[in-house]
């Protein structure tokens, strides 16, 4: 799981390399020539105004949308033209938490978590059950094991979905607006969990979020997208000094929320 022993140092390996990525919906250009690296063992936060292309950026990296042009490398392998089977092997090392959890509604939480474990490994049943229960315990949901997703609140769904995303011990974890619709306490707990995952499991984490409080807690590196263009890439302290108008506006307005 932890291949890079220097993950704490400045010379971390990039796990994702994006070069000249362009994404379009029809004629509309959503992402315009984005190039950046995402490093191992770091929390990278993607910021930007609504409609700025943040979710599209995530979806293009993991090929839920096909990029219009450009290159995306995950674990040093070019994925944009990769065949489905090879890409599936990469996806097993990647987890994603969707905005609304995206749990399968017809089966209970336990079975939702079993899906990746049963489909992608040959683990014995008792080990699987133990892993599922532990992962749910990590997100404080032990009591919800046999409940259906429709019986959970929004925050619980999100945590259950997180447990599913980490079921296979991924090396990269994507979060699409983890704190949207959560109260500040739950959202802070989720941030704690993100930091735990980073520190203990050395997972590389990419987060799309608007919450300034959350950014202060978790971010190692910040990517700022505005109208489809990359306007800033660097640390949080540097971001505050960034001369770009929208970045300035974001930190100025956000602080008083």
11 scored as a contact of other proteins (CB under 8 A): no
10 scored as a contact of other proteins (CB under 8 A): no
DSSP type of residue 142:
G
**Which helix (H) or strand (E) element contains residue 9?**
none
Give the one residue of 6, 51, 77, 146 binding other proteins; rule: CB under 8 A. 146
d(CA 122, CA 126): 12
Part of the chain binding other proteins (CB under 8 A), chosen from 48-56, 59-67, 146-154, 219-227: 146-154
- Tokens representing 51 are 């409609």
Give the one residue of 90, 102, 148, 188 binding other proteins; rule: CB under 8 A. 148
Give the one residue of 106, 235, 241, 253 binding other proteins; rule: CB under 8 A. 106
Contacts with other proteins, 200-239, as mask; x by CB under 8 A: xx--------------------------------------
Residue 211 in contact with residue 187, Cβ under 8 Å? yes
Of 150, 165, 158, 160, which is closest to residue 183 (Cα–Cα)? 158
Least distance in angstroms from the C-beta of 210 to other proteins: 23
Interacting residues of 36 by C-beta distance below 8 A, sequence separation 6+:
18, 223, 230, 233
Residue 22 in contact with residue 70, Cβ under 8 Å? yes
Give the one residue of 64, 115, 127, 241 binding other proteins; rule: CB under 8 A. 127
For the chain, first and last CA: distance in Å? 39
- Tokens representing 108 are 């209970």
Least distance in angstroms from the C-beta of 125 to other proteins: 10
Residues that bind other proteins (CB under 8 A): 1-2, 105-106, 117, 121-124, 126-128, 130-131, 133-135, 137-138, 142-143, 145-146, 148, 150, 168-169, 196, 200-201
């Amino acid at each position: 799981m932890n291949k890079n022993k220097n993950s704490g140092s400045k010379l971390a390996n990039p796990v994702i390399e994006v070069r000249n990525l362009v994404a379009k919906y029809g004629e509309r250009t959503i992402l315009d020539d984005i190039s950046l690296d995402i490093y191992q063992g770091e929390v990278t936060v993607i910021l930007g105004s609504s409609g700025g292309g943040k979710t599209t950026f995530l979806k293009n990296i993991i090929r839920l949308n096909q990029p219009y042009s450009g290159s995306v490398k995950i674990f040093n392998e070019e994925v944009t033209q990769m065949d489905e089977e090879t890409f599936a092997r990469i996806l097993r090392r990647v987890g994603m938490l969707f905005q609304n959890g995206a749990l399968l509604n017809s089966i209970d939480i336990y079975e939702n978590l079993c899906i990746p474990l049963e489909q992608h490994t040959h683990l014995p049943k008792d080990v699987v059950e133990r892993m599922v229960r532990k992962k749910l315990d990590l997100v404080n949901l032990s009591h919800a094991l046999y409940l259906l997703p429709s019986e959970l609140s929004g925050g619980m769904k999100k945590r259950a979905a997180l447990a599913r995303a980490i079921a296979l011990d991924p090396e990269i974890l994507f979060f699409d607006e983890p704190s949207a619709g959560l109260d500040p306490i739950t959202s802070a707990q989720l941030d704690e969990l993100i930091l735990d995952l980073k520190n203990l499991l050395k997972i590389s984490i990419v987060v799309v979020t608007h919450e300034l409080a959350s950014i202060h807690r978790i971010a190692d590196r910040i990517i700022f997208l505005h109208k489809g263009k990359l306007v800033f890439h660097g640390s949080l302290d540097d971001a505050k000094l960034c001369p770009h108008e929208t970045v300035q506006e974001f930190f100025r307005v956000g602080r008083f929320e």
